[in-house]
Structure 1
Amino acid sequence: MTKDLLIRNARPFGGEAVNLVIRGGRFSAAGGEPPAEAIDAAGHIALPGLVEAHTHLDKTLIGMDWFENGIGPTRNERILADRKAKRDLGIDARRQSARQIAQTLKHGVLHIRSHVDVDTEIGLANIEGVIETRAALRDLVDVQVVAFPQSGMLPRAGTLELMDAAMKAGADIVGGIDPATIERDPVRHLDAIFALADRHAKPIDIHLHELGDLGAFCLELIVERTRALALQGRVMVSHAYCLGMLDPARQRALIEALAAERISVMTVGSPAVPALPLRLIRECGLVVASGSDGIQGTWEPWGNGDMLERAKYLAQRNGMTNDADLAETARICTFGGAEGLGLSGYGFAEGDFGDLVLVPARTLAEAVALTPQKRTVIRRGRVLVHDGVPAADLPSIE
């Protein structure tokens, strides 16, 4: 559903106050008869729809009973416990993905990339559930679905075939998982997912938690395959912890190599490892996006999906306190995410989609530091949330 709307006195990305005109769901040049429906932005900052570049919609426990977490600290322990929870708790991917979207929509998140589990126990059930949610809520939010082999692909016979089936079923992106520590064969794993992406003409998004030199080696393999298959601009590496752990010379060389192949990275700003060097990444022109990862699930009990709050967290993790740096983290959660996800029609130019969030703040730094909650969320010219209150005609997405 699209609408015509006049938004008076808005300040795109904290600039001068302007009137924004949306016609047919897209930003239009001023002039002519203005739309009949109008709202006053009261000088609030206008941001394009916030971008959640990395989450797991099928894993959230929002709206369910509290999960008593006694899981051990290792990744393999968490994977095994997560699989058990899916069996024991009856987590319905369609219902739970809709619940998470309902929560994040009020914050102004209008674009989501979700990694969705594919394995030999659940088959394509989670993929099908999230795809159903994507179709039901397409007028409210864009959802990209990553087929994600959380439990490993090579060690579990039949998973590669399920990944292929997931792409045929409507997944948008081929996912991958720690090529060395989980898959135990980085060359074979990366060859398999790059071949799958090439066969289906789809992008790639790889979870890479591997540390230090091992992670750097895997990144070098990813760079080689991106170049060989001409997948520039279509590969994202999620987490990439190793980039915060290398000596300065190798760190810069690897970041420059990623930027040269237009491979983007996604960071949640994990406190468990050294922060990604955001200033160096910006200097080298590497696209960086951000996401919430799991929200209130079996892996972590917290999170609310507010990407402005995530921008603040990135600033805190990187020791950023000046206004320019805080504004940069806001860009990571908007334009950085949009570029990493390959979104078109994103921004405030004539012809871009009429999606935005109005934030009651005077500067971008204030918006990031204070994360005001009384936001107005507009999708294709339709007001979904006004001053923090969902519109009366907003359909139920429980």
Structure 2
Amino acid sequence: MLIRDARPWGGASVDVVIIADRIAEIRPHDPTSAPVGDTVDGRGRLLLPAFSDVHVHLDSTRVGLPFREHTGGAGVWEMMLNDRRNWRDAEIGLTERVAGTLERMIANGTTRVRSYAQVDVDCRLEKFEAVVNAKEAFANHADVQIMTFPQAGILREAGTVELLEESLKQGADVMGGIDPSQLDRDPARHLDIVFGLAEKYQVEVDIHLHEPGELGVFSTELVLERTRALGMQGKVTMSHAYDLGGVSESVSRSIIDRFAELDIAMATVAPAARRQLSLVQLAEAGVRVGLGEDGQRDYWSPYGNCDMLDRTWQLAFTNGFRRDDHIELALAVATMGGASIMSHESERVAGVGDRPGVGVGDRADLLLVDGETPSSAVMDRGRDRTVIHDGRVVADGLRVVGR
């Protein structure tokens, strides 16, 4: 494939040669050169890495359905019960709406997805299987990892552990945990089960942490201990964790340093929270940080529209970014930051000025989008998009192609 007249990360116009699934050559744009092979007209658009959504609940989506009144209560348990009361009664079936949401994500420029799949005594493996079906339906359009996720906790309802293990036997890629102190109220046992199953089935761990202040730090300390003791460096992600920056500056700095030492990744959904760990400090320390949309217009929240460029704007806004290099950092986190969580073959974002993902040898998972600069693209969220996955155009004009 030849991409003509594109601007990597807003730089000078170039022509990009792709062989198989890799960028093979980048040369100055020659307007007189004849198209060869599969040619994509960049038309001077920005060339960026494709987006990576590493924290999304495809299994609870209501994208594309009529907007409904929000009926959830306060706290994780009440919100979970609200979902449990309503998810079976949606206007179309679960399998169809999960696949439709993934299709819309790809059309907007996301080619790497880590999705939660709730497993509990209510839905059993039904939600997990719906995400598996969507992953298989779009196997040529996106990489999808599935996290088996105990949204209702592990210890509160008998039979949960057995269902989680069955999903791992059926191919779940990641073992999830959630609020081991606040929800299950037995953090040692909760985390022993999570890490034990992850070790048994040789998968990674992702801990969903909403716990506040010192309680969140306490649970994080237990995760750090197990990561070190089990030699799981590079195989653990902390998601949300939006209050770890609120105890003290010294505690925050210590957590960031140990995340870097143990290669523990962070996944954020750009919450409106004031006590988060500093995104700039995390990047400068070399911590792998990715972005996700969380739930999408579901029984938990009315937010989310399958567009990671919108969520990148939110990440920049909630962090108070104004400088171009900081806004571009948010864009790097939303693209290659998440990619480095899903695969260690992907280059991580090494600091505020680092812009990986569109160099010779990089995987050809790319997005062409209109915009004067990367920062302006985040602000304007242009709609003229072409999406490339493994050297193939998989979406153009906000529509998936090649199915």
Which category describes the TM-score, using the shorter chain as reference length? over 0.9
Q: Which moved more, 1:377-386 or 1:45-54?
A: 377-386
Residue equivalent to 2:94: 93
2: CA distance, partners of 1:48 / 1:383:
13
Deviation for aligned residue 1:366 = 1.2
Is the counterpart of residue 51 in structure 1 residue 61 in structure 2?
no
**Rounded Cα–Cα distance in structure 2 between residues aligned with 1:322 and 1:247:** 26
What amino acid sits opposite 1:333 in the alignment? A
**Whole-angstrom CA distance in 2 between matches of 1:385 and 1:88:** 31
**Alignment CA distance shift 1:92-1:173 (3 Å):** farther
Could you tell me which residue of structure 2 aligns to residue 73 of structure 1? 74
Which residue of structure 2 aligns with residue 14 of structure 1?
10
Q: What one-letter code is carried by the residue in structure 2 that aligns with 1:390?
A: R
**Which deviates the most, 278-287 or 139-148?**
278-287
Number of the residue aligned with 1:327: 328
Give, in angstroms, the shift of residue 343 of structure 1. Answer: 5.4
Shift of 1:241: 1.5
Which residue pairs with 1:382 in the alignment? 392
Distance 1:247 1:345, change over 3 A: closer
Give the structure-2-normalised TM-score.
0.91
Shift of 1:34: 7.6
TM-score, normalised via structure 1 length = 0.92
Partner of 2:383: 373
Q: Is the 8 A contact 2:116 2:149 kept in 1?
A: yes
Residue 135 and residue 203 in structure 1: after superposition, are their counterparts in 2 closer, same or farther (change >3 A)? Answer: same
Q: Return the letter of the residue paired with 1:149.
A: P
Q: 1:276 to 1:92 in 2, by over 3 A?
A: farther
Q: CA deviation at 1:249?
A: 0.8
- The CA distance in 1 between the partners of 2:4 and 2:205, in whole Å, is 40
Structure-2 change in CA distance of 1:90 and 1:229 (3 Å): farther
Q: 1:58 touches 1:92 (CA, 8 Å); kept in 2?
A: no
Spell out the pairing of 1:292-307 with structure 2 (5 A cutoff): 292-307=293-308
Aligned twin of 1:263: 264
Q: Does 1:244 align with 2:245?
A: yes
Partner of 1:120: 121
Distance (whole Å) between structure 2 residues aligned to residue 270 and residue 86 of structure 1: 24
AA paired with 2:258?
A
Residue 155 of structure 2 is matched in structure 1 by: 154
Cα shift at 1:46:
0.9
Q: CA deviation at 1:73?
A: 2.2
2 CA distance for matches of 1:363 and 1:225? Answer: 43
Query: What CA distance in whole angstroms lies between the structure 2 residues aligned with 1:246 and 1:285?
Result: 22
Give the direction of change, closer, same or farther, for the CA distance of 1:281–1:360 in structure 2 (3 Å limit). same
Q: Which amino acid aligns with 1:360?
A: D
Amino acid at match of 1:382: R
Distance in structure 2 (CA, Å) of the matches to 1:90 and 1:43: 42
Alpha-carbon separation, structure 2, partners of 1:204 and 1:154: 18
Q: CA deviation at 1:351?
A: 4.5
> CA 1:144 to 1:71, structure 2 compared with 1: closer, same or farther past 3 Å?
same
- Could you tell me which residue of structure 1 aligns to residue 64 of structure 2? 63
Q: CA RMSD in A?
A: 2.0
Indicate how the Cα distance of structure 1 residues 66 and 360 shifts in structure 2: closer, same or farther if over 3 A, else same: closer
> Per-residue CA shift, 1:257-303, capped at 9, x if unaligned?
11110001111121255343212222322221110000010111121
Q: Percent identity?
A: 39
Give the SS at the match of 2:10. Answer: coil
Compared CA separation, residues 90 and 30, structure 1 to 2 (3 A): closer
